[in-house]
Structure formats: structure tokens, C-alpha cells
A and B are shown apart, each in its own frame.
Chain A
């Protein structure tokens, strides 16, 4: 398939593109939030920064209650290798380090640092601008790690890990596909700050030493494609390419995008680096640019606020830790008619149990769905075995089989049907004529399996510890017996000897003492 990409109105021969299995064309709903430019959200009175805003281990606080912190100051350090530090999004005072509700489907609370802002927005002096061309790849990675950058597309994997591929990278792909309905934060970024995306791409490219670099954008965002191509030309960048990929959900899925661009499939359970490919989101690239060249850590992000309960949908540049209700209020949300608040898009996002949660690094979209829209949701009916789901699945799985096995909790069987290759994109549930919540079944089965594996791991440790304890008790018993055995023969003979010796001593003493008395 030959697809031409536009370049300043002039059409040129584009690169060859492939296609992935399945996929859907849901209504985009992107226009609502793209009518106005990105706005800065007002500074909130209180910032709530969860210690876990990424995949991996939670961060460990390095500040105390009562400390004054400055904007960009590190307030928590990575808890592990796969982890990320947390920075103060604005200047103020730490008023609490406690459990607060976090944006998570469970509605549970998790440790957070709470900062009362002072309105001064005073920057920490650690900001140190640099030119990425003067930095070694290792120095770039270190700066990205210190800046707490994680994948901003939604998964939140610490980015510095992906900057250290340990293998030759042929292609660097910047993912600007943004295929999910309603979400337009990457679109807004590419249109309004194309130079940050491109410079970020150059920095990442230097870090991974990639030969080739592609910025992939779905062709339903012509303005973003034009702006990026023009910026490339005006900056004189010739070794980077903007590619328009056909709009089809989920073209922005990492493995699907790689298939479209290269025709190669990432193996089951594998990583793109096995094909010599590294993939980063465009917003991550812009954050990398700000971290490396300007020395600014990740303290804010663009978030789309949209949905049927939002009066003025738009993109907001908001500080991390800003309470979500503040953002919703800023966009004229009808709180009375609010039925469901989703973090992420309508396909892959998760419904939040609490509204009083903060914005976190992975929060690309806040979708406020009105109660009337929820009431219109169709009734769930039994599966009629039509097979539409299998046709729609972009990973070529058998969603219906997965559904049956998840329903009957047949956890061994469901893994034989490659449950863990499911990307939870929701195509199967979208096409399901019975409106089954299929993704919910897969998430349920996945978390059950993970819990079982964890249980097994702990049981193995307990078995080993018990075994070691039994061995230790056995050994101690044997040692005690040996000690007794060593003593026993000695006592028998030495007893008599000792008595004899004592008798002789008393006799001698008597002999010595008696002459004096007499």
C-alpha cells in the first residue's frame, strides 16, 4: 500500500505502510476539545503527589512535614531500579505525607506528599540548561531519570530504561498516533509546540544512537502533520520523517504502530527492541527535551478534559498533583449531571471510584460522562457466539474463548489462549452485539492470575524457610546430642577421680591442720 504524506501542500512519495489485523473506526469526538489552544490550569491551593504514578516501585519521600519546597525540587527518590523520582510541581510547604485517594480503578488510597502552594512559583536552583549534543548518551539517560520522566502515553513505564536498549537501534518511532476517541493532548502538543517534539526526538535519538527516526501521526490530524513537517523543514532537519498512518483504532498501540510502519510483528511476550525498534510517545519526547535542554523535571502535563458532562472541553497544561475537581470545574463541568469520571479514553481508560483524586503523570485525559449518557448504555445480553470479536481483535486473539474461560475462572486454559498478549484495547467489546464487558473479564482474569502467581511465589518462600528451619532444628539437636555424648564417658571415670581427689585434699588438709590443734 502506497500512501502519500503531505508536505506543505506538495505531495511526495511516502514510505510503504502495512496494516494490522482487525481494528475499529469509533466516532472520534476530537473536535470538541481542539477548538481552543492549550490553556494553563490555575495554580491549585493544594498539590497531592502520589508516590506511585508510574509502572514499577513507588518512590520514597525525602522531605518531612513542614519542609519548604521549591518548584522542581526532588521530594521523593526512586524506590528501586524500575521507578521514578517525584518533584514538587510548585513552591510551598509540605503539609502532610499520608494516604490519599489516587486515580486507580480500586478507589483505594496510597501514600502521597501533600504540598500547600505559596503562589510564588519559585524555581529550585538545580535547573541547569544544557545542549544535548555536548552530552554523552549515559548523561542524557541520567538527566531523564533524574527528571522523573515516564511514558506519558498512558502506560507510565520509566523512560530512561527505554533509553538504554543495550542493542543497536535501527528505528526510533515517535508515537503521535493518538488513536483513542476524545483524547487530543498529543495533537495539541504537536500543533502548538512542534519544536519541543522534534528536539526531544533528536535528544532521544542521540541517547539510543538510532539510525532512523519516524514521527507517526494518524491522518485524522492533518494540522499536526503539516506543522511538524514545516518545523522539520524550517529547522533544516532532513534525517527525520513525519509519516501519516491511516486512522484506525488502535493504530497507536505500540505493537500495532510498529506493524503499520515496518510490517514486522513484535513476538508474543517480546519487546520492540528485539526488532531493533524503540518507541516513545511524542509527549514523552517533549518532556525529554525540557529535562535535558532546559533542566526542568516532569512537573506538568497536557491533559484533555472532555466528555458529555463537560461544558467547555479543552486541553489544559496542568501541574501534576492538581486536584481533578479543580480541572473539571475550570472546564465548566456539570457536577450535578456527572455520571462517571474516566481517567484515560473511553476505550482503555478506567472509571474512577473517587472524584477527589490528583492528576498524575499518566493522566492523558479526564472524561466526564453525563448520567444521561450512562443511562443510554445498552443492556448486557448473553454471548451469541457471532465471532465479531475475533475479527476486530488487533492482536489476532480469540476474545470469545477468553471470555468463556474467564467466566468459568479456568485460569490455566485462558493462558493457553494468550490472555497476556491482550492489550485491553476494547475493540472486541465495542463490536460485541451483546454488549458484554469483555475487557473487564480479561482484566479480572489477569489480576486473578497475577495474584495466584504471587501466592505461589510466597508459598515457595515459606516452604524453603520451613525446610531450612527443620534442618536447623535437626542440626541443633544433633549438636546437643554430640556434646552430651562427648561429656558422658569423661564424667563416669572422672567422677571417681574427682571424688578421690577431693577426699585426698580433705585428708591432707586434716593432716596439716591437726598437729596445730593437738
Chain B
């Protein structure tokens, strides 16, 4: 019987021996945990999320000012000015929407900023009654950028009639108040989210580096993928192209009333997503520690193919398709929806790379799958 024990110990040591030599053959060096997750979070917070929020906040302050000017003096020049500031802020928003984390998640920031298609009946009822709670979930589709899209472009097909709503209309005060309240609310919410980041949340965020469902490292990437899949792939392209319905739903494009910005907004959103993945600082070409570098580190260590390059190449392919579309995606759907569907297919391939390959590499659990494993 002693022999048996000795054999067992022998086999055990043998296995360790084999495994050591195995690792020496396989790669030059099994690196230790050199990857700095805190640096990833710091780069995301300090160079991407907070700068984008600051920019959005200042855009919305400008929007507030041009709104005040327009309400005081409703004319074509002031309307143009207001529209231009709306578009600037809307573009910046594309860099913010994916970070549904911290205060943003708590106050359902996204739901109050960019739910489209907007509900024009609700908007008209709110204006008519003059009695509304913009924070109510019932009004999520009557506020934010899509509501402004309607209020600035959609009230009529010609600009002078739109201006009349704010000047000569019997309820001009109601229209002006609603426009004003929606913009003020957007600025207040953004300020709230930004202040939370800069006052306390930033430090909590960057120090939450564990691998748990509620840690920043995991939540950030889950939010990112969720946004990419829903906010970008589905909402901007898939749903209008009728991918999820029997017929195309062209009127569900983002910026439906302003008509010509839908493609632009989608392109910016795609760039924002790619920049975040690569850790590129907001409005800059400097890159820092990111999920891309995290993936590269892990894949290099395990000797697998370069996933970061595959993801970037696939995003390029999607961008190429997207670029060929009409500026007005509504028109694109109605004239040649096949091109929309092809764009969707390319975007979908990115989803597979993010959800399957990247998440497998990072070994991060998909959201809140809460149960025992084998």
C-alpha cells in the first residue's frame, strides 16, 4: 500500500514537471498580471467619460442660451442658431449615451435624453395642458433630443410656420415654455451626472477593479456592449430597416424631423464606440489603457489570434457600408433598404466579436446571470 502512495506522489510531481516544461515551450514568458485595470478605468473616466460629459454640459448651456434668445425673439436667424446648437449637443451626446453607469443609471438619464421615436401626441398634450412632470417615465418619449427635433423641425414643414408656433400661436407661451423646460431639464440632468462624476463617483469608479457583477470593469464593458447592440445597431439602423419587424419602419430613425442628420449621428456613435474600445481620449488622438489593450494582453498570453484587430477591421467594414447610405436614413429605407440591411449585417458581425469573442477572452459574466455554475 505504501507503494501506491508513492506512485501517487510521483505522478503528482510528474504532472507539475510536465506542466512547467509545457509552459516553457509554449511562449517566451507567462507574464504575471501586468494588466492594470485601474489604469483602464482611469483612462475611461478621466479622458473619455468626464470630458465628454463636460463638453455635453457646455453644449447644453449654449443651447439654453440660444433657446432663451429664440424665445425672446422668435425669428429665422435665432431658430437657425438654436438648431445648430441642438445639433452640436446631439452629436456630443453620441459620446455619452453608452455610459449608463453610476448616477446616469440611477436617474435613468438615457431614458430622459434620447428615446425615439418621440411621441408627438404626448408633447402636444403636455403643451396644451401646461401641466406636466418631465421626469415621469410616461414622458420619456416626450423629452430629450428627439422632442427637440420635433419642436424645432417637425411642427411644420416650413420654418416660418414653426416660428409662428412660438410667436403668434394662441398658445405660443405654452410652446415656448415646453421648449424651455425640456432644454433646462436636459441641462440639469447632465449637470447632475457630471457633478456626481467629478465630486465623488470618479474615485469609487476607478477603484472598483474586482471581477464581480457590480464592479466597474465588468459593468462598463457590459454597458458598452448593451449600448452597441441596442442603442447603436438596433435603434439607429436595425429597427428603421425593419430587421425586427415584417416591414421597414423608416419613421423610427433618429432625428426623423430634421431629416438629414440621421446618418451623421450614427457615424459619430460608431466612432464614439470604437474610440472607447480603443481607449482614445475624447476629441483627441491619444490612446490609453483600454479594453482593446486588455484583450490584446490576454490573447497574447494565451497565444490566440489578434481579436482587437478583428474588431477594429469589422467596425471599419460597418463604417464603409454606413458611409454609402443617404444622409437621411428615412429616405434610404424607402429608396433602397437593402443597403440598410447590409449595414446592419456588418454591425451585427461586430456584435458577435464583442459579445462572444471579447467577453470570452475577458471572461466577464454577461450582466446579471446569477446562479451556481458547474
Chain B binds chain A: no
> Which A residues are closer than 8 A to B by beta carbons?
none
